[in-house]
Homo-oligomer: A and B are copies of this chain.
Amino acid sequence: MSKTTFTNLSSEKQERFIQAALTEFAANDFQSASITAIVKELGIAKGSVYQYFDDKLDLWLYLKKHCEQVKLSYIKSIKRSEYSDFWKFYRAMYANGINFDLENPLCSQFLYRVGFKEMSPQVMPHLNTWKKQANAMFCQLIEAEKKAGTFNKKNSTDVMAHFMVTMSMSIAELLQKKYKVDFEKNIKKGKPLFGGNSKELMKAVDELIGLLEKALK
């Protein structure tokens, strides 16, 4: 997971490298992402990449861990115990997730790829870790809510968890459809992923959460 040569680099250089690599890996899947394209963009020699990382997979894993940590920093601050109602808690978590998207479009796009689109055989063994974690977390939450009586006990926990995880992550697509947000364009122009219309956006989110609520409680 990244050689000392990379960690020894000045943090500016590291950041520049990460940005360039992320841009490439956010726009292409593992197989198609090109190391050559990254070094060309950075104006460095290809050999340098292999002074920093063992190989392409090593770089990918580093980027993945990096982005996951950034995302985690947005989410872990929200605690269930600080909210009276589960759905208020859920909504707060969601809002933070959107903040993450707005402030880290590249990370967001890359993780979207990793979580939803990636199927390259080389990385298959390293997928699902995040989704599995999210799923496990939701299962735990749901069990607790069942005990508290706010969730329907008749439905199996894993189906409910699947329901929530899927809908949570599908919001992006809804927004693309409903508001014709063009993520790719926004990324290329350096704009925030949602182009700025967060209010409209939260309305759609609210409606979707409302549906979830009706389904599960």
Contacts and interface: CB of A to CB of B under 8 A. Distances in A.
Interface string A154-187: 0110111011001100100110011000000000
A120 interface: yes
A123 interface: no
Contacts of A204: 159
A212 interface: yes
Contacts of A158: 177-178
Contact of A117 (B119, B167, B211): B119
A210 interface: yes
A32 B216 CA distance: 41
Interface residues of A, number: 33
A163 B207 CA distance: 11
Main secondary structure of the interface of A (DSSP, over half): helix
Interface string A17-41: 0000000000001011000000000
Interface string A198-217: 00000010011011101110
A135 interface: yes
A211 B216 contact: yes
Contact of A211 (B160, B173, B207): B160
Contacts of A116: 116-117
A34 B208 CA distance: 41
Contact of A167 (B32, B135, B163, B214): B163
B159 A119 contact: no
A35 to B, nearest CB: 16
Instruction: Find the residue from A29, A113, A211, A214 having the highest chain B CB count within 10 A.
Output: A211
A159 B178 contact: yes
Interface of A: 29, 31-32, 113, 116-120, 135, 155-156, 158-160, 162-163, 166-167, 170, 173-174, 177-178, 204, 207-208, 210-212, 214-216
Given A32-B32, A155-B207, A212-B215, 17 more contacts: A29-B29, A29-B31, A31-B31, A31-B32, A32-B120, A116-B117, A117-B118, A117-B119, A159-B178, A162-B170, A162-B177, A162-B208, A166-B170, A170-B170, A211-B215, A214-B214, A214-B215
